[in-house]
């Protein structure tokens, strides 16, 4: 299992690279990984990254950029 600190760093990098399209980017990567038969651990890690990005989006929508 990938440590949370590493997942947070990767999620931040994805968000900085793809901005508001980060969730769509990760969904596309998950779909591709499933189609290509990637290991379950890789798909779970992508899903965890997606959850972090979605949490960030919900938090920013709720509280704004303070």
* pLDDT tens digit sequence for 15-50: 999 998 999 999 999 999 999 999 999 999 999 999
pLDDT higher than threshold 70 for residue 1 = yes
SS3 string of the chain?
CCCHHHHHHHHHHHHHHHHHHHHHHHHHHHHHHHHCCCCHHHHHHHHHHHHHHHHHHHHHHHHCCC
The separation between the first and the last C-alpha atoms of the chain, rounded to the nearest angstrom, is 33
- Indicate whether this model's pTM tops 0.95: no
pLDDT-based confidence at 2, cuts 50/70/90? confident
- How many Cβ atoms from other residues are within 10 Å of residue 43's Cβ? 16
Q: What is the CA radius of gyration of the chain?
A: 12
- pLDDT of 66: 55
């Amino acid at each position: 299992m990938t440590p949370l600190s590493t997942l947070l760093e990767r999620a931040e990098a994805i968000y900085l690279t793809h901005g508001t399209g980060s969730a769509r980017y990760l969904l596309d990567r998950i779909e591709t990984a499933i189609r290509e038969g990637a290991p379950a651990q890789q798909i779970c890690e992508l899903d965890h990254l997606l959850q972090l990005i979605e949490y960030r989006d919900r938090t920013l929508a709720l509280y704004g950029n303070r």
